[in-house]
Each structure stands twice: as structure tokens, then as C-alpha cells.
Amino acid sequence: MAEKHSRSVPGGRAFWWTTSLWTASARLPVIRVPIAGIRELDEDCWFDGRAPTCREVAEHARRIAQADLRHPVILAADGRLMDGGHRIAKAWLEGRQEVDAVRFEADPEPDWVVLDSQGDR
């Protein structure tokens, strides 16, 4: 299944395919950022506010274990995480204080936007 990132925007929700983010960020300089400064580490990024099943937790645990820390996480211009939640979780579990990241100066255009009246597709 193709991965995507989304966030609320005025009037709806913007979506980016992670492959689009990888392409758009390929030439950005890699920087070190403190894990403690990535607020998504303390947010529900995967379960939409509902209690996850054990299977869902296990699947994320597998993805965290398989995460490759050689790839930088991708941050939006405002510092929010766009790609790399499993890598951040792995780095935190390993006791790291920082992680490699790239950060957009201006966010790329979303691949699509769903207006509030359309619902999530």
C-alpha cells in the first residue's frame, strides 16, 4: 500500500504521497535535529484517536524495528513531521538524542486536497 502524509488546511485536508515528498526533498541539506523537538513523537499519528488493536500495534512495532535510520526524516517548513515517524520512534528507542532530517523552506504543493464537504478519500 502506498504511504501518504496529510494535514489539515483551510477548508479541508491536503495529501502528499511519500514518494512525492522523497523526490521533492532529495536535494535538501541533511541537518541534525533534536528528537525532543519533533512534536509528533508525543502525538497520535497512526490511530486517528481510537484505541488500536494489538495487531495494529505489532505492525507498527515491526515497521519501527525495520526502519532505516540512514534515511533522514522529512520536516515541513514549519517543522512538522511529513515522513519518518517509524524512524523517529526507532531512534528514541535506541536512546538517541538527535536524528538526521531534511526540512523544506516552503512546502511542496500537495498531490491532492479533499475539501471538508467531500470527506476523506
Containing domain of residue 65, as a range?
4-118
pLDDT, tens only, 49-76? 899 999 999 999 999 999 999 999 999 9
Strands 98-103 and 73-75, how do they pair?
Answer: parallel
Q: What is the DSSP string of 87-113?
A: HHHHHHHTT-SEEEEEE-SSPPPPSEE
pLDDT above 60 for 26: yes
Residues 6+ apart with CB under 8 A from 107: 76, 77, 82
Categorise residue 74: left if φ over 0, alpha if ψ from -120 to 50, beta otherwise.
beta
- The CATH number given to whatever domain includes residue 10 is 3.90.1530
The pTM of the whole model exceeds 0.85 = yes
pLDDT, tens only, 27-50? 999 999 999 999 999 998 888 889
pLDDT, tens only, 84-93? 999 999 999 9
| Domain total of the chain | 1
